[in-house]
Amino acid sequence: MTKVSIGLRGWRFEEEEVFDESGAFRPFTEMAPDTRDRIGRLMAIIDNPCDACWLIHGEEKQQRCRPATVVYGEPLREVVLCDTHEVDFLYWFREAGGRDLAGKRTFQNGFHQWFADGGRAPDGYAGIEHVETEPDLVPEPSREEATSVDDEIASLSEEDRESLDIDLDDLDV
């Protein structure tokens, strides 16, 4: 069983549950409800700006927000972040009470509030071992057609797919 991320790092899926042998998306009806919810939500948020950038720049300066590269939390209560702000999130999660909100409705608000109040990881906080991977290699589901998929994922080797994953089981909230 291989776990893969799709589009954004963070949420991971059983490859066999999401893709068929040819690498195409399975129909939603064949997926478990939780998987279906996550994939559906992922497609809605895949192009969102980073939550933390958004809190800093706001709607008027939206173009200054970096795109999200990682997602944490549960669908509809998720937090999406750029690489820079992921460190702040990890600090909040591990050291500033975020873990206690895992799976709760206040998860997203809790982080937003902490960040808006000036919460940041201290300088040099080692949030995460840098993942050596080309972001462009992370396959993206097509937004128009849920059943079609980039040929990219089919052409990825097992090893490449593994390297797209990050080991953050303690964050699997």
**Scanning the structure block, which residue is given the tokens 């990881």?**
121
Q: CA angle at residue 132 from 130 to 138, to 5 degrees?
A: 110
SS3 112: helix
Q: In this chain, which residue has its C-beta nearest to Zn ion?
A: 50
Q: Which of 141, 160, 115 is nearest to 35 (CA)?
A: 141
CB of 80 to Zn ion, least distance (A): 9
Closer of 23 and 67 to Zn ion (Cβ): 67
CB of 168 to Zn ion, least distance (A): 18
Residues that bind Zn ion (CB under 5 A): 50, 52-53, 66, 82, 85
Question: 10 — phi, psi (to 5°)?
Answer: 115, -85
Question: 170 — phi, psi (to 5°)?
Answer: -70, -10
CB of 172 to Zn ion, least distance (A): 22
Closer of 43 and 56 to Zn ion (Cβ): 56
* Residue 17, CA distances (Å) to 66, 168, 171 in order: 31, 21, 21
Closer of 66 and 120 to Zn ion (Cβ): 66
CB of 4 to Zn ion, least distance (A): 24
Closer of 31 and 53 to Zn ion (Cβ): 53
